[in-house]
Amino acid sequence: MRTQERLQQWDYLIVTASNDTQARGYENQLAVRRELGLLGGVGRTLVVADPGGRRVGSGGSTLYCLLEVLNRQLGDVAGRRSDAWREVLGDLRILIIHAGGDSRRLPAYGPCGKIFVPAPGESDSAVYLSLFDKQLPIYLGMGRSPHGRGQIVITSGDVLLWFDPRSVRFADEGITGLSCLAPPQQAARHGVFCPGRDGRVRIYLQKPSPAEQEACGALDAYGQAWLDIGVMNFDADTAVRLLEIFGAGPSSGGRLHLAGEMGHAINQWGLDFYREVCCAMGTEASSAEHVRAAKASGSQWSENLLGRVFAGVSTIGFSAQLLHPCEFLDFGACRRLIDSGTRLVQEERGITHLRRYLDVNNAVGEGGSVQGWGSWVEGCRINATMTLGGENLVAGIDVDGPLQLPRGACLDVIDGTDDKGRAVSFVRCYGLDDRMKVTVD
């Protein structure tokens, strides 16, 4: 099949995982959807786990996905010159959805991962409707790179984006990020593009405060920022360049892996694509500011290695496209799950207010009811009255007697095993805004 024809579909759909256990769960989810014919337009599906269970970040995971594809396509000759890598990647379209993580900000869905969080809405399929199922058609609908020199798109598994994929226009070369307008307070939790002329990015800010956004000229005349919605596109030339910068090469067995100082740094500290890579790019980026921004965002890379990253990636073209209209719904934490789920239902039903709870895959029996609104209730068997105070998250419980939850209370039940391997259920109570990533004093 000729390259032009092959580039009309996606050759690889890759979902990343943080460890082998999570990867097996993702593989099962994808296999079910493949059997049901829900992955049309996709050639091969892969799940790529972080090596050895070590967290390698979105950048490290992207590189390992590319290495996995090259090792599969090239076999024993994978370690040959990078010209072979470029030839292989130049003939492929690869969609990578980053979904590795512990879901500590959304503990009820740690077992399935944020990407397979059940989503509100109707489904005529035999499998439950998930965030993944909502995301995928939009991602698959995006057009190919202008010159057909291969295409790699990386996305985030814990957000839902609404935009017309036919409106996307990627730059001829380098990296293109997609953006939507957002208030500075929302943009402060994500990445921000500072646009220049002709869609070129001047500088990239990682989780900047509203004051920093204003100081860097990131806000438009209406006080809105160009929010990075987590979709980045690049061609085969850029992919090969990134692999070379970060130490890709053959192991003693001939398979490609990450080696040298850069590869060691990725395996030890991880590589955040946005913090270590994007912050080094842009027409006005500087090495000193890159180091400052990376360190301020928690990078453990040394100044010397960050300098090498800057030297390697700062000359790669970096563009951004502002999408309008575009909705950015973040499902990455308990409160955002409720807010984004509510917004999703409002959009799909064409209503401005939702005066009931979010009802997701529940079974309500005779005598069962839920009183309250502004809450998320999922996967429950409800045979008695449950009264919600508001801003509640309830998942996986059986309600066989009257239950009342105060405002902001969360309750979930998950299956597991005890220290003797016996099947047990874990009942977990916590607050909506509890910080699960920090230790208890």
pLDDT, residue 79, reads 62
Same domain, 321 and 362: no
Same domain, 136 and 283: yes
Same domain, 318 and 359: no
Phi, psi of 438 (to 5 degrees): -115, 155
pLDDT, residue 104, reads 84
Model confidence over 230-270: pLDDT tens digits?
999 999 999 999 999 999 998 877 889 999 999 999 999 99
pLDDT, residue 257, reads 93
| Cα–Cα–Cα angle for 317, 321, 323, rounded to 5 degrees | 165
Quote the CA–CA distance of 368 and 167 in Å, as a whole number.
46
Total of domains in the chain: 2
Nearest to 276 by CA among 258, 300, 244: 300
Residue 344 in any domain: the answer is no
Domain encompassing residue 301: 3-327
Residue 93 in any domain: the answer is yes
Quote the CA–CA distance of 169 and 178 in Å, as a whole number.
9
Quote the CA–CA distance of 374 and 392 in Å, as a whole number.
7
Residue 345 in any domain: the answer is no
From 310, 327, 344, give the residue that closes a domain: 327
Same domain, 87 and 191: yes
Quote the CA–CA distance of 145 and 7 in Å, as a whole number.
9
Quote the CA–CA distance of 116 and 104 in Å, as a whole number.
15
Same domain, 323 and 359: no
* Burial group, residue 353, by CB count within 10 angstroms (0-12, 13-18, 19+): exposed
pLDDT, residue 102, reads 76
pLDDT, residue 276, reads 98
Same domain, 359 and 320: no
Same domain, 229 and 300: yes
Residue 249 in any domain: the answer is yes
Q: In angstroms, what CA-CA distances link 362 with 165, 336, 369?
A: 32, 20, 11
The residue to which tokens 């053959």 are assigned: 250
Same domain, 283 and 238: yes
Residues forming a β-bridge with 257: 249
Same domain, 269 and 367: no
pLDDT, residue 5, reads 43
CB 160 within 8 A of CB 97: no
End-to-end CA distance of the chain: 61
Same domain, 256 and 400: no
What is the pTM for the complete model shown? 0.93
List the chain residues with pLDDT less than 50: 1-7
Residue type, 89: L
From 279, 312, 327, give the residue that closes a domain: 327
Residue 430 in any domain: the answer is yes
Residue 157 in any domain: the answer is yes
pLDDT, residue 103, reads 78
Q: In angstroms, what CA-CA distances link 324 with 16, 219, 270, 314?
A: 29, 16, 34, 28
Same domain, 95 and 46: yes
* Burial group, residue 421, by CB count within 10 angstroms (0-12, 13-18, 19+): exposed
The residue to which tokens 């009942």 are assigned: 427
Residue 109 in any domain: the answer is yes
Residue 425 in any domain: the answer is yes
CB 54 within 8 A of CB 25: no
Radius of gyration of the chain (CA): 22
Cβ-Cβ contacts under 8 Å for 87 (sequence gap 6 or more): none
Same domain, 172 and 253: yes
Model confidence over 414-440: pLDDT tens digits?
998 999 999 999 999 999 999 876 665
